[in-house]
Amino acid sequence: MKTDHQHTALITGANKGLGKEIAWQLAQRGFAVFMGARDMAKGREAAEELCQEGYEATFIHLDVTDPVSIKNACGTFSQKADHLDVLINNAGILEDHGEDIINLNPELLDRTFKSNVRGPIMVTQDFLKFLQKSPNGGRIINVSSGAGALNDMETYAPAYSISKTALNAVTRQFAGALRNQHIAVNCVDPGWLRTDMGGPHASRSVEKGAETIVWLATEADITETGKFWHDKRELVW
């Protein structure tokens, strides 16, 4: 049975942290949310929490590093909805632990790019056919990081930082390719958040980190595309 909700959103890495918070905020705004996660138990649990509060949430098994998993997720989605309004590429990893570029392990770099760069490209490519059916214009939001901004980059977490710079470039490429299809593509620096990745001493809550992402998904003009945002303001690349 397909959703009868007017608005639909898919969030990758939605079983915890920022992704889970984004799902909550969009559900509260009337979206049917599809919560992608590679951990099946945690993904189902996260979706069930929203359902128990009266929202429509569906878990979709989705490992962004696995092309077969992405295509299977598309098949599952097609059984539940006939269009997608918002795609949020949130899933990502940070495995750098004090290394600098001089000692960077190439296998770590490959894993990071597979998750943080190749994953969002493949997910966007495969779900594009659903975004093109959005009646009000589709929106793609890539969760980036201030660490990926070239203007003040130094030595922090080279694999992660470089991957987020690349994700910003991916954002620009898709924005250009989809400009005439009424699909906005943007990336967001949510800030240093208190999540598993950011740690307990981070300066910002997940609620604050989700604000700009949800704004781009719901309120920002569809003509705002190909930009890098933080707290609803455009950032220097």
Q: What residues are annotated to the active site?
A: 160, 164
Q: What is the DSSP track for 80-93?
A: H-S--SEEEE----
CB neighbourhood size of 154 (10 A): 8
| 3-state SS, residue 135 | coil
Burial class (CB within 10 angstroms; exposed 0-12, middle 13-18, buried 19+) of 148 = buried
| 3-state SS, residue 1 | coil
Cβ contact 158:99 at 8 Å:
yes
